[in-house]
Structure 1
């Protein structure tokens, strides 16, 4: 045999491996009734030589279409585009090619921008705590593509690290959905005896992370962050070139995995939603499945690249501290071994209007909540708004030898407060009693019976009956069930405390132990009958029920983050069934459709320097579905601004009061945060604010907010579906518009669109 023949064969095999070979061409008899499967092997050249730019849209194949949209895809990469038939707007799963040649982006980020997937992983046999970030192209990946019903499936394989990641893309009515088939992910490399397994394990995945990404060249767009009420990052050409990455966990940090060093100082993400608007098109991203294990990640232009982008990130493994001594003062960080395989799906709603804005995005999200999440319209017949009166009963008085009960508002005194406000013309109130527990506000565990110093069960029953005679519901604060520091309810810290992965019991401060969610559920369910005997209308849950999610590694009460979410939903459902209603403090999305009210709703943002505007995205989405109020009017620091924010965002007036003077709260360390509560000091302000809230918002409680916009610096307008408009002026000087003068720090109401 000639010496040249083996070399020629090797060359031919290499060339064949780079060709696109439809499976149907190699085996027509077996594939005749199936969609063609396309495999591509990317060469092993350096990434800078291998990649030449973004995919050519002219070569995309037609996949499917419906009445409004056409889906096309590139079988070589799995990238896709969606074309709006009416407006001809195009949604790309990759950055807009018009800005591709802008300079200043590193080769690493060029590769990220071109790739349909980004992922992070850890090499367990090298550095168990060091995460590496990569993408399909940098890993010389393979692509397997096939059509499926309403879309296509693409399987990405990275042979060098042993990853196999299948993703489906479906075109629906007005959205495209990307679904990661988590149950089919492979991240353990099978060796053939010749190669060594790098022990690479998947940590997180971003599917089509730069979908809709745009440069700031036209400065006609923004990124929508689910921060607080909603925050916008405007497209800016001359934004300072600083690293501004937003990365936050949906529903907040999981404290079972968090150390003090990595707990975020930003507000928790309450809704698994994000968006990007450019020109006449807006894209609303909704994490429909897998929200408990997701981050929202975003960066403006000039931070990582020339593009503004935002995406959802699916989390599969989590960083933990592994102690190596009994005191748990020494140890190392590593990542969990088990891959979290819950279902993952993200929807991208395509909104194209002449002047598309965040109001349109919030409106589409509201529709999603009603159609997919069980939210229903609030068809209240009430003509007046409710005053949300929060009464602080009692706490623990710090003693030199032992502590004692500190009475602040007995049930008889609470009745007098309600009578006083009623005599001032406030006929509609919703009352929540705090610090009603046997040990007071800061004692957790063994809540019933009602504290004797407040009037006991009989006193509370009489107060509830009185409130009901006036048509006023009464709720008890139920956030205390999250903790236990008394050992009551049969609780033993070592047996029933919430534990992290290192098996340490988790505490808040020195004396508040988090209760295992399964144990907590049993306590709440046992107490429902006792609460029912008092005639109360429900609980106001908060803290660990409805507003915080954490995994529990307590062997006796083991529960994943997803299971804890289900436990909390079950508590809301059961409480509503037994007592009639249930409310939530600063609630996460999964708790809201089981609630009838949100207390302490966020109305601001986290004060990131790269945020340009704060908007009421959450309020626009929820107004008309569920009621809400913000910070207590007497606890906000700026009473006037809090009042105006409530008017602008369509909230209700809310105050926290005591019968006793405020200085008495200084006798209890946990109550010192409530720095101005005396009812006599606030009754005139409460009455004045209530009447102004009622005049402005009484007739729009069940109406949707249809528009919100900034008119001038410090001046904002909110529009309701029947035409009422409210213009709020936050400035310390009057503002005039169309000949109409709005006083300093005041508002005007325009009925019926006048």
Structure 2
């Protein structure tokens, strides 16, 4: 026998020995480890005694206290790419679909219900398309998320003084259900015996979908230890797994945005989650900014102006618009692209009854986490309006919302005259060696000259808002307490004479009134109350300006008091037109005399005075929340885009599609748009009226003021641009005046907008000419085709 000798270097021998050791160790580990590969159960929550309470050995452990903690992506089945294979269509009415028994129907829809988890399946009777509200067989995950995905209603709750939020769903906590069926739906009484919490859910079939309700008075908490924090309502309605379906989720971010139903390959870790009607500074802790050059380098994300969200499955031509009818002042919209925690695309509303917040324990340092004492005062009511067939698209969602607003008298149709908006900037303050000094930018006579020059050049229809007209200017003069125009603006013309002149020339000149902020640097001894957050501290509105670093918010009662005080002042000085800002797009919780007040209380203060001003003056509101739309003569600063989150795939003009032809809409300032060609085309497409911020002086004079962000506003530079915008957009408006949009399509960079008077507008965002509908549209241009 021949023996072959192998010569190996010492390094090679060492590597082989290490390799064999690793292999043998792995085999031993796999042979002895019998734990599951993926599923990770959430550990039981330790008992948290109340202050002064001794832990009890007899207190039983409960399985329902599962903290909301997202498991790592590898633990939730992101690698399980198999399709669900649930039917997209069911040809005819069934006794049962996927364990859901037929319950009721109307001329358009059928409703099927599974009593085990109160899950719903909705079926369109014409096409047979079905939409599911829960996941039947969730991918392997921990028990908490599995139960969440299979549940129609998920309750969040707080335990003692623990800051962690826990969940109770249709499975965990062994809920007891008593379901009563009726001809239009069902009512369900749900009770968690270990938590001693109960609530009622009512689901009612409507002509276009269904309504889900949880009345506040039916939420019973019988154990001091456990308190309701919030609810998810049908969170997985219309869900899809990875890229199994075609379509998108609609989020009301700014003008509106879409998140496509696709497989994101796990690249997104965070969902979209925003409060309806913006931040709640009264309880939410602000994020810590990293300032650049002692300034905030980041733009704030766009607010949610209307309490809506949606889902469209284009492959089966079915979708829904969710409208939060009750509870919108304490609600969030959350949208999860696949890969953000779960391999599913899903969108939902979340309602917040209690939160925790940081309570300072001393003036200098130290804090403790405190639970909100009382539930926020609201019922939960969500309306799901379904769209099908050719209406199963985002325009169908906008049209649905438009009809809803009109049918419920939540908005009134206004006269739709075309105006160009010319906002005039009066004055600000800069810090001198010893005292602050005025920086007048547009005096009253200069304002007159600007407006008269435009009219002489043919720009006849003008709407103007005068900002910074008051004593100490736009920021030093907060709050406005009397009709006291800034003396530095009075040259040979007073504000009263300017107002009279503009009336004679048919110019709508509005005085700007910020009813929210107070400048304590200027009015330290003010008798007006300042808003205090739940932690009893004053809220500071940090602006990082060159003169004033921050402002404070007025107590809602003081905002009302000041506006009531100003009302006779305005009337006696022949002021007919007022623009109110601040309280039009800010809502917060607050505390007073050791009591907590939610955002609904703030809303009631604001709505009462705004309604009063609407009945007295010509009133406009700056970027108002939807509950105020019926009071404003026009919507100012309507966003034309979204916040541009990384997970959004497409911006859509949802608000413009909804409101065009009902209420005049004015854009944000043209001055500060990065791409003015594209912005102009967006104005054409969305039917927005242009807005300019104008000064007589060069804005370089503002460099040391709080208005240093105004870098381009001098009238001499914008005179021709204003005229160009005016004549082009006015011509388009004359062909679409008073008309609503009836169809909206996008294809390869070309948008086609159809109005109910037959007019069609083609907008080409491409850098080459295109032909569509027999019409040739030049690059980066538009074309209007007159209808009948």
Report the TM range for the smaller structure's normalisation: 0.7 to 0.9
- Paired with 1:122 and 1:180, the residues of 2 have a C-alpha distance of 19
1:470-489 correspondence to structure 2 within 5 Å = 470-479=505-514, 481-485=516-520
- The Cα shift of 1:337 comes to 2.0
SS at match of 1:671: coil
1:145-294 correspondence to structure 2 within 5 Å = 145-148=179-182, 150-189=184-223, 199-237=225-263, 239-261=265-287, 265-278=300-313, 279-294=316-331
Matched, 1:651 2:688: yes
- The Cα shift of 1:203 comes to 1.3
Q: Provide, for residues 229-286 of structure 1, a one-character-per-residue CA deviation record: whole Å limited to 9, x for no partner.
A: 1110111135435323111110111101122238995321111000001121111100
Q: Provide, for residues 547-572 of structure 1, a one-character-per-residue CA deviation record: whole Å limited to 9, x for no partner.
A: 01012213399743101112211122
Equivalent of 2:554, from 498, 510, 515? 515
1:342-353 correspondence to structure 2 within 5 Å = 342-353=378-389
- The Cα shift of 1:456 comes to 9.0
Q: Name the counterpart of 1:635.
A: 672
Equivalent of 2:446, from 410, 413, 417? 413
Equivalent of 2:734, from 694, 698, 706? 698
- The Cα shift of 1:479 comes to 1.9
- Paired with 1:570 and 1:690, the residues of 2 have a C-alpha distance of 36
- The Cα shift of 1:118 comes to 1.7
Matched, 1:547 2:585: yes
Matched, 1:396 2:429: yes
Q: Name the counterpart of 1:591.
A: 628
SS at match of 1:496: coil
Matched, 1:424 2:457: yes
1:449, 1:456 within 8 Å by CA — same for their partners in 2? Answer: no
Q: Name the counterpart of 1:88.
A: 128
- Paired with 1:699 and 1:417, the residues of 2 have a C-alpha distance of 29
1:473, 1:536 within 8 Å by CA — same for their partners in 2? Answer: no
Moved more, 744-753 or 522-531: 744-753
SS at match of 1:210: coil
Q: Name the counterpart of 1:75.
A: 115
| Structure 1 runs not aligned, ≥5 long | 1-42, 48-52, 190-196
SS at match of 1:682: helix
Q: Name the counterpart of 2:6.
A: none
How large is the RMSD of aligned CA atoms in angstroms?
2.9
Q: TM-score, normalised by structure 2?
A: 0.82
- The Cα shift of 1:117 comes to 1.6
- Paired with 2:766 and 2:467, the residues of 1 have a C-alpha distance of 35
Q: Name the counterpart of 1:725.
A: 760
The number of equivalent residue pairs is 684
- Paired with 1:310 and 1:332, the residues of 2 have a C-alpha distance of 33
1:313-392 correspondence to structure 2 within 5 Å = 313-327=350-364, 329-354=365-390, 356-380=392-416, 382=417, 385-392=418-425
- Paired with 1:717 and 1:280, the residues of 2 have a C-alpha distance of 21
Shift of the 454–559 alpha-carbon distance from structure 1 to 2, 3 Å rule, reads farther
2:268, 2:647 within 8 Å by CA — same for their partners in 1? Answer: no
Q: Name the counterpart of 1:193.
A: none
- The Cα shift of 1:626 comes to 1.1
Shift of the 516–708 alpha-carbon distance from structure 1 to 2, 3 Å rule, reads same
- Paired with 2:337 and 2:64, the residues of 1 have a C-alpha distance of 31
2:65, 2:167 within 8 Å by CA — same for their partners in 1? Answer: no
- The Cα shift of 1:609 comes to 1.1
- Paired with 2:500 and 2:157, the residues of 1 have a C-alpha distance of 60
Shift of the 699–751 alpha-carbon distance from structure 1 to 2, 3 Å rule, reads closer
1:569, 1:594 within 8 Å by CA — same for their partners in 2? Answer: no
SS at match of 2:647: coil
- The Cα shift of 1:372 comes to 1.7
Shift of the 482–238 alpha-carbon distance from structure 1 to 2, 3 Å rule, reads closer
1:64, 1:70 within 8 Å by CA — same for their partners in 2? Answer: yes
Q: Provide, for residues 115-139 of structure 1, a one-character-per-residue CA deviation record: whole Å limited to 9, x for no partner.
A: 12223222224x2x22234422122
- The Cα shift of 1:507 comes to 1.7
Q: Name the counterpart of 2:539.
A: 506
Q: Provide, for residues 207-236 of structure 1, a one-character-per-residue CA deviation record: whole Å limited to 9, x for no partner.
A: 221122223544421100011111101111
2:320, 2:384 within 8 Å by CA — same for their partners in 1? Answer: yes
| Structure 2 runs not aligned, ≥5 long | 1-61, 67-84, 87-94, 290-298, 543-548
1:105, 1:304 within 8 Å by CA — same for their partners in 2? Answer: no
Shift of the 429–731 alpha-carbon distance from structure 1 to 2, 3 Å rule, reads same
- Paired with 1:517 and 1:457, the residues of 2 have a C-alpha distance of 38
SS at match of 2:375: coil
- Paired with 1:470 and 1:555, the residues of 2 have a C-alpha distance of 51
Shift of the 542–751 alpha-carbon distance from structure 1 to 2, 3 Å rule, reads same
- Paired with 2:606 and 2:206, the residues of 1 have a C-alpha distance of 31
- The Cα shift of 1:535 comes to 3.0
- Paired with 1:45 and 1:246, the residues of 2 have a C-alpha distance of 27
Moved more, 247-256 or 723-732: 723-732
- Paired with 2:182 and 2:525, the residues of 1 have a C-alpha distance of 55
- Paired with 1:412 and 1:45, the residues of 2 have a C-alpha distance of 71
- The Cα shift of 1:425 comes to 0.8
- Paired with 1:542 and 1:430, the residues of 2 have a C-alpha distance of 16
1:489, 1:523 within 8 Å by CA — same for their partners in 2? Answer: no
Q: Name the counterpart of 2:13.
A: none
- The Cα shift of 1:646 comes to 1.2
2:277, 2:303 within 8 Å by CA — same for their partners in 1? Answer: yes
- Paired with 1:614 and 1:552, the residues of 2 have a C-alpha distance of 34
SS at match of 1:690: helix
- Paired with 1:281 and 1:135, the residues of 2 have a C-alpha distance of 27
- The Cα shift of 1:584 comes to 1.6
Shift of the 364–313 alpha-carbon distance from structure 1 to 2, 3 Å rule, reads same
SS at match of 2:474: coil
Shift of the 478–71 alpha-carbon distance from structure 1 to 2, 3 Å rule, reads same
- Paired with 1:307 and 1:466, the residues of 2 have a C-alpha distance of 61
